[in-house]
Homo-oligomer: A and B are copies of this chain.
Amino acid sequence: MNALLTDLYQLTMAAGYWSAGKAEETAAFELFVRRLPANRNYMIAAGLEQAVEYLLHLRFEEDEIRYLQGLPQFRRAEPGFFEALRRFRFTGDVFAVPEGTPVFAGEPLLTVRAPLMEAQIPETFLLSMVGFQTMIATKAARMVDASGGRAVVEFGTRRAHSPQAGLYAARAAFVGGCAGTSNVLAGMRFGIPVFGTAAHSWVQSFPTEREAFERLQGLLGDGTTYLIDTYDTLEGARQAVSLGKPFWGVRLDSGNLIELSRAVRRILDEGGCRGAKIMATGDLNEYKILELVAAGAPIDAFGVGTELATSMDAPSHGAVYKMVEHVSPLGRRYTAKFSADKATLPGIKQVFRFRDHDMIGRSHECPSPDAEALLRPVILRGELAQPLPGAAEARQRARRGIEALPKQLRTLFEVDPPYRIDLSEELIQLAREVRARR
């Protein structure tokens, strides 16, 4: 499944490891984000469930192997390598931070320890899946925070980077705190509440707006949301009221949302529809939501598409996957990169969460009974260590985790000082030794 959905060099390296007799040597890689993206003070880990599914089902099909055999890069690869691909199973260990956990720059979200070839090939998929979902869960958490308790619904599949990206964006947005999504497949596959009623084309397909509204109400009853801005927003609100049938509320998708929401609220209230809600959509982001909330706009729910599903202001968090240990017949080596702007720390790590700060240490450390170790076994010797929490449980963890964060981190702008991240003495010592040995 998806075995070729990787960078070619993962496979040329695998062939090289095989030729060099190193395929069975053990290596450990860590997946982390180097720097918090602009204006973010924390991230929400997400995407683990799909990463684990991928590792547990990673197989090379015969046609895929044949394709590789035809590439010039594998002309000198040994037949034994292709045999190894045929037998390929992920047999290693994975440790990971549970989905929904707030995390910070430099903290491993996922650690893979496996035979070199098995640890190398999944790099591309893992980075893409965990990196993307973490980015979207983080963006969603910002919007939910900005909304001050109002519902935020994810509507972004049409603007996501392919329909499949929309599916995972919906999942990650739910983990980050959204109330649900418009993506039906995400609803079916991940048990996420799905929302949506009608678009402008619905209104346009009837001779009059009134008839369009009546028909929609006939279908959706008290769950109906009338989209009222196709022709004239205030007129649309009056139509909704005048039908005299139960409905959930109205949706505004254009114009000045502060003024329109007030005017519409008045029309609803004066028409005896005090219980009817107002949902706002249309190029919203966390800053606009905050502005609407701060202005006291009578909006009950926000639908967010493009900005959420693409993490518009920070469309990549630059996740990386770096080798930190390598065990060969020559012994155990702790590895790191020292290139100018991309240095990494050696050794398998653990993240210890204290009440008001984190400490990144070595995996065997046990600094305090008060500290929570964030990375937990997920796959052991190729088998699931325990059932993974789904999206709903991850969402609860995110909510608790965000509430436990120092208050000042929950703003839409970078705070100074940032959340405190210490490195343990042992880790600093190891880094020094590795550096000195070069």
Q: Which residues from 255 to 296 on chain A have a C-beta closer than 8 Å to any C-beta of chain B?
A: 255
In-complex Cβ contact of A340 among B73, B157, B255, B312 (8 A):
B255
Q: Which of A1-31 contact B (CB under 8 A)?
A: 2, 4-13, 15-17, 19-20, 22, 25, 27, 29
Partner pick for A12 among B206, B220, B338, CB 8 A cutoff: B220
Report whether B159 and A335 are in contact in the complex, using a CB–CB cutoff of 8 Å.
no
Are A197 and B20 interface neighbours, CB within 8 A? no
With A128-B157, A318-B159: A339-B253 Cβ-Cβ less than 8 Å? yes
Does B316 lie within 8 Å of A188, measured CB to CB?
no
Q: Give complex CA distance A215, B11 in Å.
A: 15
Contacts of A195 in B (CB 8 A): 8
Of listed A9, A22, A169, A183, residue having the most chain B CB within 10 A: A9
Nearest chain B CB to A140's CB is how many angstroms away?
14
Q: Which residues of A are in contact with B by a Cβ distance under 8 Å? A: 2, 4-13, 15-17, 19-20, 22, 25, 27, 29, 64, 67-68, 71-73, 75-77, 116, 120, 123-125, 127-129, 131-132, 155, 157-169, 182-185, 187-188, 194-202, 204-207, 215-216, 218-221, 223, 229-231, 233, 253-255, 306, 310-312, 315-316, 318-319, 321-323, 326, 328, 330, 333, 335, 337-342, 438
Question: Could you list 30 examples of A-B contacts with CB < 8 Å?
Answer: A2-B185, A5-B157, A5-B163, A5-B166, A7-B184, A8-B194, A9-B182, A12-B220, A13-B199, A15-B219, A29-B201, A76-B221, A124-B166, A125-B163, A131-B158, A132-B161, A132-B162, A159-B316, A160-B165, A161-B315, A162-B165, A200-B322, A200-B323, A201-B323, A204-B323, A207-B330, A207-B333, A231-B438, A306-B316, A311-B315
Return the contact of A219 from the options B5, B10, B19, B125 (Cβ within 8 A). Answer: B19
Query: In the complex where A7-B183, A330-B207 touch, is A72 in contact with B223 (Cβ < 8 A)?
Result: yes
